[in-house]
Chains A and B, each alone.
Chain A
Amino acid sequence: MSAPKTLYDKIWDAHVVSEDADGTCLLYIDRHLVHEVTSPQAFEGLRLAGRKVRCPEKTIAVPDHNVPTTEGREKHIENEESRIQVEALDKNARDFGIHYYPVTDIRQGIVHIVGPEQGWTLPGMTVVCGDSHTATHGAFGALAHGIGTSEVEHVLATQTLIQKKSKNMKVEITGQLKPGVTAKDITLAVIGLTGTAGGTGHVIEYCGEAIRALSMEGRMTVCNMAIEGGARAGLIAPDETTFNYVRGRAHAPKGAQFEAALAWWKTLFTDEGAHFDKVVTIRGEDIEPVVTWGTSPEDVLPISAVVPAPEDFTGGKVEAVKRSLDYMGLTPGQKLTDIAIDTVFIGSCTNGRIEDLRAAAKIVEGKKIKPGMRAMVVPGSGLVRHQAEEEGIAQIFIDAGFEWRLAGCSMCLAMNPDQLGEYERCASTSNRNFEGRQGYKGRTHLVSPEMAAAAALTGHLTDVRELI
């Protein structure tokens, strides 16, 4: 009998093309997702070397980072550099014959939302993209991680990556979440505990009752931020929730082939007794709605807490916290719920799916946002937007005073017109609170969609449990 394996071990083993004596492997890549920002140099490299895309049928492209989220964008993108990047992707997709969802296609959206939605992402696959939030796809029990542009070119040319295996890390969330606590709070709470380097060199498998209870949307939110914890990838073993989500999607297998796939997918779990190099366990009941106060995703505290002081930390973090507090314009001891917010952003590959919009809409239904507040909802794909309109969710947001926008990365990273102005402060459902991330000198507080909705109503960071 072979030694017990983790889920990661199983997927890894199923994709090794060759292995050198020192453990360096050539790993086969099943799906390659491409967007406009990290791919132009890779396609240019192929052209210069006279190479083609080895498996165009396994390669999917969609513009998302640069595209404006306002009407008329299909005719004209004002920013010249953005326009050039999107045009370059148009041309590269056409020239190399890869699947493409341009902005004129209702299926266009954030690459990590489009992939699962269209059934490109399936359990047991290897999925890569020139974007760190590729970790999202791990929610399906797929080994998914971000790569740089040189590696994008490598995958385009060879459909493989040169890799060494990472270590196994288990993050178990036991029990049940309390009302008002979401997948976003789980993933932030984990990073708050382990730090942004806590997962470095590891692939995390999230497990436990609270993870099992999550929908696919929630699982994607959890895995999405595995990278923020430093991990190469996040994984959740596939189960009935996964299979039901995948079944019937455009590019998922059908009929007998689906049954054959299902039989294999059901073997994708961590064997009893398999070895993990690192284990973290959190009780679901102990997680509160959380918010970030600083400029690193590890700067996480329950909403009931106060802004910490640099002296609360040790080592290099002391200076980093001083810098963060200065950048964020916060004072130690200040209650987090006293922090006034002028902007709310609901969207991104972390929280731009239908379930996120439903949850936020439930909070704002029948209410109005605080006067003077700029609040926007940016669905993660054209199909999410369409579904939200069909369900009446869009109207709830519009009636409450939110801007209802077209799909894209939007204010998550400010490469498009959706940006924070200097010293503007945003409750954001995105994934990074780095300096300048949402705009030069902009200040970001990462929260769940429900918490963002609550802040839009009250004008300050708010414990959503007071509104439910």
Chain B
Amino acid sequence: MKKFEKFTGIAAPMPLVNIDTDMIIPKGFLKTIKRTGLGVHAFDEMRYDRAGNEIADFVLNKPQYRKTEILIAGDNFGCGSSREHAPWALADFGIKVIVSTSFADIFFNNSFKNGMLPIVLPAEQVELLMKDADRGENARMTVDLEAQEITTSDGQVIKFEVDAFKKHCLLNGLDDIGLTLEKAAAIDSFESQSAQSRPWV
């Protein structure tokens, strides 16, 4: 996984609440057996009409937001399915950070596995960033994971919380499986104990 580095990018406002995984990547695109190439289908049914033409007033189709790297979203982003195709599609589009007041658990976890940073902030701060993002490509925000700070286009600094382990993995581009396999001895010993205490498993 690529290391998550400090960057400055365009933020797009998506104030709709409960943006679900079916909106992020409709089921028609779950039939791939690859992880890549889904960016063009991110938000497909909101972004294109049935003939495949872009819907002009969808935020990511507007000229100033076509290179969005930060989404400022309404409450409960990513609710619904466990499909990792949702973060794959967003990451492939170029999204690196999503800010909301809350995320669905599975989507939240899936994002970290794909080098993306979901940030939870209180409603007032999301509102402030939403307003900033509304200013189009003039609103370039800086996200510094190391310092746990978002800097708005006019220099306002907003601190955010992040799980220490997840932060460490993102900053260093670490692969979870590799980390877990270092604990193989503990898994072995759990299994042999469990073979005694719960032999039916």
Contacts and interface: CB of A to CB of B under 8 A. Distances in A.
Interface of A: 17-18, 20, 22, 24, 26, 28, 30, 37-38, 40-41, 44, 49, 51, 54, 58, 65-66, 79, 81-82, 84-85, 88, 122, 124-125, 130-132, 134, 145-151, 153-154, 157-160, 162, 164, 166, 196-197, 200-201, 227, 230, 232, 252-253, 257-258, 260-261, 264, 296, 298, 315-317, 319-320, 323, 413-415, 432, 434-437, 440
B164 A261 contact: no
B140 interface: no
B30 A41 contact: no
A217 B173 CA distance: 44
Given A147-B106, A150-B110, A157 B35 contact: no
A320 B80 contact: no
Contact of A18 (B110, B183, B191): B183
A201 B105 contact: yes
Interface of B: 15-18, 20, 22-23, 26-28, 30-35, 45, 50, 74-76, 79-84, 87, 102-106, 109-110, 113-114, 163-165, 176-177, 179-181, 183-184, 186-187, 190-191, 194, 198-201
A211 B98 CA distance: 38
A154 B22 contact: no
Nearest to B77: A197
B16 A415 contact: no
Query: 6 nearest interchain CB pairs?
Result: A253-B200, A81-B31, A148-B110, A146-B82, A150-B113, A148-B84
Contact of B31 (A37, A41, A58): A37
B79 A230 contact: yes
A54 B184 CA distance: 11
B106 A157 contact: no
B106 A154 contact: no
Given A38-B83, A257-B199, A261-B200, A232 B177 contact: no
B107 to A, nearest CB: 8
A288 B18 CA distance: 25
Contacts of A151: 109-110, 113
Contacts of B50: 440
18 contacts: A37-B30, A85-B31, A124-B198, A130-B82, A132-B106, A147-B106, A150-B84, A159-B187, A160-B187, A162-B180, A232-B105, A257-B199, A258-B200, A260-B199, A260-B200, A315-B75, A435-B22, A435-B23
Contacts of A88: 33
Nearest to A251: B200
Given A30-B201, A122-B200, A296 B18 contact: yes
A157 B181 contact: yes
B184 to A, nearest CB: 8
B75 A197 contact: yes
B164 A316 contact: no
B186 A26 contact: yes
Contacts of B198: 124, 261, 264
A22 B183 contact: no
A125 B177 CA distance: 22
A301 B176 CA distance: 43
B15 A316 contact: yes
A436 B26 contact: yes
A317 B199 contact: no
A138 B18 CA distance: 25
Given A30-B201, A157-B181, 16 more contacts: A22-B164, A26-B187, A37-B30, A79-B31, A81-B32, A84-B31, A131-B82, A150-B110, A151-B113, A154-B177, A164-B163, A197-B102, A200-B102, A230-B79, A316-B16, A436-B27
Contacts of B80: 132, 432, 434
A440 B45 contact: yes
Nearest to A439: B27
Contacts of A230: 76, 79, 104-105
B128 to A, nearest CB: 15
A301 to B, nearest CB: 17
A200, A201, A260 pick with most chain B CB within 10 angstroms: A200
A157 B200 contact: no
B115 to A, nearest CB: 11
A148 B27 contact: no
Contact of B201 (A125, A200, A258): A125
Given A49-B177, A415-B31, A200 B104 contact: yes
Contacts of A436: 22-23, 26-27, 45
Contact of B183 (A26, A54, A164): A26
Contacts of B27: 413-415, 436-437
A93 to B, nearest CB: 15
